[in-house]
């Protein structure tokens, strides 16, 4: 049984406005957890509280209420960060350092010895295809190269938990795939839990197993990508031969919605037994099917629907449950 | 220890890359070279027969021994070095906290398994090593030049460097406090130079107090005097200490009070800077 390495419960954060005494709620009681080896995506529009949640985990900022734990220790305890790698959004690795020097300094700050830093640095820079730049100052790097170096710094001490804020920002498509592969390999080989904070929904969809969507400081939806993107009542049916109008009429009489699209049908049914009844009707009429699959939304569809679903008071609603859209 | 080493490496590399280190030692070297070429002493049978400063003859009384001349010279020079070393140290180290607190950089430091207290204190120590290396370079070079030209070794001059470093430690603590609060290098430099000058001005606090009409104003000036680093008194103490009892009657007047209050001032600033840094949200 894999262990929970990130635990967030009832986390609230209010910022004081610089003008007056008003307070701005960044997080309004969020809960989520990440297990070792899990790739978890944190989604949300600008100002939803994603970065604040990560900053609380790293003790860069403190919660107003609630609790956050890393590796079983309260966030804020320096030892909770012993096995944590972090890539902040818009990170500034000092430009006067070379990659070798930057990795050396941050490796030492993570408690690594010189020999371990040297071998791991070379390994990571080769994987990230910037090994030939190891002795060039960071200020000469392109944005994508700086991002790769940031990932190398985050991965340097083989962390159990990786917190990544927009890790593929500025990286070309080939590089994105390579980074995705490296992250997946880390998770698989070392059981590294990865919390990915990104606006690139396709990136999250391709990388993560589970996601939580934040909206106005609350978790609006959480669950596996499959759960979130499945349209529970819509199925794609591809018949072996064209279905006649009489059968389609019978489907509609049963209460199903039927839409013909390029040789296949989109069936909207009440539930799974309703779907099976329609399949039975097709078979009884001598028809055969070559494909029957649930229709999925893209993560972007789900995200846009969630972000647009604001209650009349202008606030998001509800608490999330596993795999539920609220 | 690894954290301290990493911070020292970071501070030194930054100082080297940003030309701070080069400028720091270049200015010091120019000062040393001017000093070396400006002094010409004519010593006959261990006694001073004549002296030239910047090519001009200096009148030397017949009874003055070379030892006394060196002592007097080094004593006066230590006062110049006191100001020079302190100002160079402020300019070279005031950025250490503001630069670390920059958005995108501080995240990288604080995400390591290092307490904030350890982080800021190791940075402070790294800054002191940078400033200390320059004080050592200047003092040792001047001392060696004087020893080379006069064959007189006067170790008190080197110990004057320790007192200079003491004041730098106190002022660097203040620069750290301002840096933590404002995240601005410019404000850190201005405030620290300001405190140096204000502290010197307050050396005449008794006369200022006497000139004030209200009692509370006089009390405020006296209070400020005791809170501020005693930059004038410590400068005078450096000069008197290097000169020794033979050269300065002021030597006998050196009391621990300015040192104690300056040490307390520095300690409070560093403690406050550490406390605020630990509480700060980024």
The tens digit of pLDDT for each residue in B22-38 reads: 777 787 788 778 777 77
pLDDT at B38: 73
State the residue range of the domain holding A259: 228-296
Which residues on chain A are in Cβ contact (under 8 Å) with B105? 91-94
DSSP A264: E
Answer yes or no: are the C-beta atoms of B64 and B128 closer than 8 Å. no
Whether the pLDDT of residue B282 is over 70: the answer is yes
Q: What DSSP assignment string belongs to B222-279?
A: HHHHHHS--HHHHHHHHHHHHHHHHH-GGGGG--SHHHHHHHHHHHHHHHHHHHHHHH
Contact call for residues B267 and B171 (beta carbons, < 8 A): no
Specify the pLDDT at position A60.
94
H/E stretch holding A106 reads helix A99-109
The mean-pLDDT minimum among A103-112, B42-51, B95-104, B148-157 falls in: B42-51
Q: Give the A-side interface with B, CB within 8 Å.
A: 55, 58-62, 78-82, 84-86, 88, 90-94, 96-97, 101, 104-106, 108-112, 137, 153, 163
Residues in B touching A109 (Cβ below 8 Å): 2-3, 6, 109, 112, 114
Q: Is A218 helix (H, G, I), strand (E, B) or coil?
A: strand
3-state secondary structure of A271: coil
Contact assignment for B6 to A94 by CB distance below 8 Å: no
Check residue A308 and give its pLDDT: 75
- Region B116-129: mean pLDDT is 94
CA distance A102 to chain B (A): 9
Whole-number pLDDT of residue A226? 81
Please report, for residues A52, A166, A310, the alpha-carbon distance to residue A201 in angstroms, rounded to integers and kept in the order given.
19, 11, 20
> In terms of domains, do A126 and A174 share one?
yes
Both A192 and A82 in one domain: the answer is yes
Q: Are residues A160 and A192 in the same domain?
A: yes
At what angle are helices B116-150 and B66-93 packed, to 10 degrees? 150
Residues B126-131, mean pLDDT to the nearest whole number: 94
Question: What is residue B21's predicted lDDT score, i.e. its pLDDT?
Answer: 72
The number of domains in chain A is 2
Do residues A95 and A196 share a domain?
yes
Pick from A61, A79, A81: which is nearest to B282 by CB?
Answer: A61
| A211 lies in the same domain as A233 | no
Indicate if A81 and A152 belong to the same structural domain.
yes
pLDDT-flagged residues of chain A (< 50): 311-326
CB contact under 8 Å between B110 and A60, yes or no, is yes
- Whether residue B18 and residue A96 make contact (CB cut-off 8 A), yes or no, is yes
Same domain assignment for residues A113 and A249: no
Q: Which of B108, B114, B123 to mutate to test the interface with A (most CBs of A within 10 A)?
A: B108
Q: Which residues of A touch B282 (CB under 8 A)?
A: 55, 60-61
Is A301 inside any structural domain? no
Residue A154 sits in a domain whose CATH number is 3.40.50.300
What is the pTM (predicted TM-score) of this model?
0.80
State how far the alpha carbon of A177 is from the alpha carbons of A166, A203, B25, B171, in Å. Answer: 14, 9, 48, 51
Would you say A89 and B105 are in contact if contact means Cβ atoms under 8 Å apart?
no
Specify which residues A84 forms β-bridges with: A161
Average pLDDT, chain B: 87
In terms of residues, how long is chain B? 282
Do A135 and A233 share a domain, yes or no? no
* A235 and A140 both lie in a single domain: no
Q: Are A102 and A68 members of one domain? A: yes
Q: Are A193 and A38 in contact (CB under 8 A)?
A: yes
The reply to whether residue B9 touches residue A101, judged by beta carbons under 8 angstroms, is: yes
Q: What is the pLDDT of residue A323?
A: 47
DSSP characters for A272-291? HHHHHHHHHHHHHTT--EEE
Q: Is residue A304 part of a domain?
A: no
Do A190 and A47 share a structural domain? Answer: yes
| pLDDT for res B247 | 66
The more confident residue out of A320 and B1 is B1
CATH of the domain at A246: 3.30.70.980
Find the Cα–Cα–Cα–Cα dihedral A181, A148, A128, A193, rounded to 10°: -40
Evaluate whether residue A309 is within a structural domain.
no
Chain B residues within an 8 Å CB radius of A60: 106-107, 110-111, 281-282
Q: Please tell me whether residues A90 and A183 are part of one structural domain.
A: yes
């Amino acid at each position: 049984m894999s262990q929970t390495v990130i635990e967030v419960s009832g986390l609230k954060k209010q910022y004081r406005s610089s003008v007056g005494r008003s307070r701005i709620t960044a997080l309004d009681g969020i809960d989520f957890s990440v297990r070792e080896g899990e790739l978890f995506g944190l989604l949300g529009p600008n100002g939803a509280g994603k970065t604040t949640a990560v900053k609380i985990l790293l003790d860069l900022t403190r919660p107003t209420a609630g609790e956050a734990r890393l590796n079983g220790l309260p966030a804020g305890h320096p030892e909770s960060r012993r096995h944590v790698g972090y890539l902040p959004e818009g990170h500034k690795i000092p430009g006067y350092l070379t990659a070798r020097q930057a990795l050396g300094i941050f490796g030492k700050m993570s408690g690594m010895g010189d020999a371990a830093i040297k071998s791991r640095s070379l390994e990571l820079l080769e994987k990230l295809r910037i090994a030939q730049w190891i002795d060039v100052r960071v200020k000469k790097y392109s944005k994508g190269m700086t991002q790769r170096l940031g990932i190398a710094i985050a991965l340097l001490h083989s962390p159990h938990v990786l917190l990544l804020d927009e890790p593929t920002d500025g990286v070309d498509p080939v590089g994105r795939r390579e980074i995705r592969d490296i992250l997946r390999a880390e998770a698989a080989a070392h059981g590294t839990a990865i919390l990915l904070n990104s606006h690139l929904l396709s990136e999250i969809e391709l990388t993560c197993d589970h996601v939580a969507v934040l909206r106005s400081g609350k978790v609006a939806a959480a669950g596996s990508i499959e759960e979130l993107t499945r349209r529970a009542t819509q199925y794609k049916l591809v018949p072996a031969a064209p279905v006649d109008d009489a059968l389609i009429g019978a489907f509609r009489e049963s209460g199903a919605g039927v839409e013909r699209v390029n040789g296949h049908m989109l069936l909207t049914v009440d539930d799974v037994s309703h779907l099976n009844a329609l399949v039975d009707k097709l078979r009884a009429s001598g028809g055969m099917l070559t494909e029957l699959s649930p229709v999925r939304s893209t993560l972007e569809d789900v995200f846009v629907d969630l972000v647009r679903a604001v209650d009349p008071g202008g606030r998001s609603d509800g608490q999330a449950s596993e795999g539920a859209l609220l | 220890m690894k954290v301290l080493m990493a911070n020292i490496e970071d501070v030194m590399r930054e100082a080297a890359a940003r030309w701070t280190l080069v400028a720091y030692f270049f200015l010091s070297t120019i000062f040393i070279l001017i000093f070396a070429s400006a002094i010409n002493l004519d010593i006959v049978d261990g006694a001073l027969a004549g002296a030239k400063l910047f090519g001009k003859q200096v009148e030397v009384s017949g009874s003055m021994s070379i030892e006394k001349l060196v002592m007097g010279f080094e004593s006066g020079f230590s006062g110049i070095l006191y100001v020079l070393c302190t100002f160079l140290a402020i300019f070279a180290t005031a950025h250490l906290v503001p630069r670390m607190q920059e958005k995108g950089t501080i995240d990288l430091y604080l995400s390591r398994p290092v307490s904030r207290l350890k982080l800021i204190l190791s940075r402070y120590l790294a800054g002191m090593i940078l400033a200390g290396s320059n004080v050592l370079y200047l003092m040792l070079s001047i001392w060696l030049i004087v020893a080379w030209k006069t064959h007189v070794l006067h170790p008190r001059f080197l110990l004057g460097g320790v007192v200079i470093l003491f004041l730098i430690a106190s002022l660097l603590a203040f620069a750290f406090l301002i840096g933590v609060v404002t995240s601005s290098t410019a404000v850190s430099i201005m405030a620290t130079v300001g405190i140096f000058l204000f502290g010197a001005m307050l050396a005449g606090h008794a006369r200022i107090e006497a000139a004030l009409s209200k009692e509370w104003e006089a009390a405020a000036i006296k209070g400020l005097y005791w809170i501020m680093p005693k930059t004038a008194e410590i400068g005078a103490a450096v000069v008197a200490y290097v000169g020794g009892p033979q050269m300065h009657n002021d030597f006998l007047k050196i009391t621990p009070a300015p040192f104690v209050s300056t040490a307390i001032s520095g300690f409070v600033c560093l403690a406050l800077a550490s406390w605020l840094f630990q509480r700060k949200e980024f």
